[in-house]
Chain A
């Protein structure tokens, strides 16, 4: 009887957005009198930080600092329609809607500035520090603050924009299944290392090394939190979680966290994340949706590592000590 080490690999891809498309999201952007920007949405932040990345997308598009952007969301009286936060669609769909709305608002802003500076709007750009400058002649400039004031109180113009993003719905062909499920795919490859106690069947994950290709890391810190969290969830799916441990039997289902097993901090291994960026043609600044994918490759990588360690296959999830031990015993008989 011994602790046996093994490692396994898995490689996956994942579609961004609602399968087969047909899932619109809208955004409205407007400036306040002093040149701050409001983004109105009805999208939901699930705690993953949707509001932060949306503010950065708006700021990038208009050319202002992120802290000049406020996200007003999740209110159906004030926010235009959003299909919802699911299907790895938030950044991609809502982000694209915001780019469109912000681009329209920026155009008005530049036109207002152009009138104040008596130049052509096409010759203007933002400097990222709160000013609108003449291209090639940055000494000729006006602040966004003054531009917004002029728009409101002098020129009577609304610095605002509307945006919607919709991937047209695809309908599968009934006999061949020809269809367009998604416009872009994220990718991953994971190597997991495990220790298996062949006396108890217990599996300890030693390390998980994940490589994710996500189009573009719009906020690398938030990418990290999402990918690390996903990686832990993958481990949890592989080894611990189920509401019905003896499925299809209906008994034995957990009703609280004493009975429903999940890994605690001490059960989580060293987690490494490497991010590759191949921008998606239709992604907001190239971003794809890795929110769901990041919890997937760990499951088969761990299953394969268990086999590598003790030479048995557990083809039923979760890979509990009981199942590992039964497989080892069956192999010996």
Chain B
């Protein structure tokens, strides 16, 4: 199924590798196919407790009171945790790289901002006892108006989703959005033969890993805690746990291993801090593993996005101006979404050389499951919008869609909208090979083009 097309870039490459460049069999493959590979959940410990999370049934509500007394009396229950037990209850993952503010409560204290938000953690000897006790927790809510979509959230009279932000969008140092300004889009539109403005939408998408998010924590007796976890980022987890629990990092020992699929879904820090806290307070091993339902509806999905593209194009196929408004539906909390929206701003206007560009990308808060990292976030949906738009533009001027892309493709030395000169481009060669492989004819002159050589 795979073919290495060595004829491209042969002058850019020395084929002098020994151990690399070979299709060696993965050393872990035999373990995977004989079920010998160990995953975090393949461990049991005597006296292990099961953690069950009591979650908000409302999209947006004020918490009047939390009553755990019945649950605590239930047979098999070892401990019930509320916000009062969490030393530093308000966090945000990227505070580690100075992307604040802390905007999310580990266990909800005064408000819930999405249906499914964690409120109370129940620890019991068996999953069944934990489930039964969780059902006995009484939370008195005052339901508040909720806002579910990007457009509604940005209206001035919209309910405020997250008080830690103060408005329903992330405030960058550049203001309400990340901005890129290059050339003069209005001038570019004025010089164009056609202008096309289109809006694109996507819905949230689940990572759907075979192995759901989870961890098992063991107190080691020397005041340290070993946490077997399937996080994608060991020190993200360790350092955030250290902050949330106000516990020196030295007390924490994270052990990972092979993860049963991540796709970005295990970059958030959701199960480890509360499990380590529970282990500390009970002195017992604790297991917290998402059910499939939690994995699908509670763990962060890929954000829904709204993307508006406005392009000015000449009738002979040059894009003179591209204006972009990108909106990321972050749900109720930041997690990795401000980073994703920023990444989008860096990605537009796509791999094309356009002299006039304006980009605004917004990270918008709604009363939805917080979205976060997922394979390609900030770019994947942007590429959908950009490349459908390219197809529409080509058809608008009666040009072949692939030839239209050749005309506008970026090449080494071209200045990008974010003011970096293009290096190492290879879009033209990919399109040349696609034309050959898929038998999609383009004019001969496009085969003479190069990303790095002046045309022959």
Contact = CB atoms under 8 A, between A and B. Distances in A.
A333 interface: no
Contacts of A256: 292-293, 296
A275 B5 contact: yes
B456 interface: no
Given A271-B1, A272-B1, A315-B199, A52 B433 contact: no
A86 B376 CA distance: 9
B424 A278 contact: yes
B30 to A, nearest CB: 12
Contacts of A249: 148
Interface in A125-179: 128, 169, 172, 174-179
Contact of A278 (B206, B418, B426): B426
B306 to A, nearest CB: 10
Interface in A44-94: 44-47, 49, 51-52, 55-57, 59-60, 63, 65-67, 73-77, 79, 81-86
B446 interface: no
Nearest to A178: B419
A191 B434 contact: yes
B235 interface: yes
Interface string B46-60: 000000000000010
A47 B26 contact: no
Nearest to B357: A177
B388 A273 contact: no
Interface in A199-245: 209, 211-213, 216-224, 227-228, 233, 237, 241-245
B391 A304 contact: yes
Interface in B4-28: 4-6, 8-9, 12-13, 17-28
Contacts of A303: 384, 387-388, 391
B261 interface: yes
A243 B371 CA distance: 11
Interface string A261-287: 010000000011111111111000110
Contacts of B5: 211, 274-276
Interface centre among B3, B199, B256 (most CB of A within 10 A): B256
Contact of A274 (B22, B379, B423, B433): B433
A19 to B, nearest CB: 4
Contacts of A175: 174, 179, 181
B275 to A, nearest CB: 16
B267 A84 contact: yes
Contacts of B381: 317
A190 interface: yes
A152 B285 CA distance: 41
Interface string B246-268: 00000011111111111110110
B205 A243 contact: yes
A242 B205 contact: yes
Interface centre among A45, A169, A248 (most CB of B within 10 A): A248
Contacts, number: 410
B233 interface: yes
B204 A220 contact: no
Contacts of B420: 179-181
Interface stretch (A28-36, A111-119, A289-297, A324-332): A289-297
A177 B234 contact: no
A307 B350 CA distance: 21
A66 B387 contact: no
Interface centre among B198, B304, B343, B384 (most CB of A within 10 A): B384
A217 B17 CA distance: 11
Interface of B: 1-6, 8-9, 12-13, 17-28, 59, 97, 115, 148-150, 172-175, 178-182, 198-206, 208, 231-236, 238, 252-264, 266-267, 292-293, 296-297, 301, 304, 329, 339, 342-343, 345-347, 350-351, 359, 366, 368-369, 373, 375-376, 378-381, 383-388, 390-392, 401-402, 405, 409, 417-420, 423-427, 429-431, 433-434, 437-438, 440, 451
18 contacts: A8-B401, A49-B28, A60-B19, A65-B19, A84-B267, A184-B423, A219-B23, A220-B4, A224-B2, A243-B301, A255-B293, A257-B208, A257-B292, A260-B208, A275-B2, A276-B426, A278-B8, A304-B388
Closest 6 A/B residue pairs (Cβ): A84-B233, A177-B180, A74-B256, A300-B387, A221-B23, A248-B149
Given A174-B172, A256-B296, A278-B12, 19 more contacts: A20-B342, A46-B258, A52-B26, A66-B24, A79-B234, A83-B233, A84-B234, A86-B233, A174-B179, A188-B430, A211-B437, A216-B13, A220-B2, A254-B206, A255-B297, A260-B296, A275-B5, A276-B426, A316-B201
Interface of A: 7-15, 19-20, 22, 42-47, 49, 51-52, 55-57, 59-60, 63, 65-67, 73-77, 79, 81-86, 128, 169, 172, 174-182, 184-185, 187-191, 209, 211-213, 216-224, 227-228, 233, 237, 241-245, 247-250, 253-257, 260, 262, 271-281, 285-286, 291-293, 295-297, 299-301, 303-304, 307, 313, 315-318
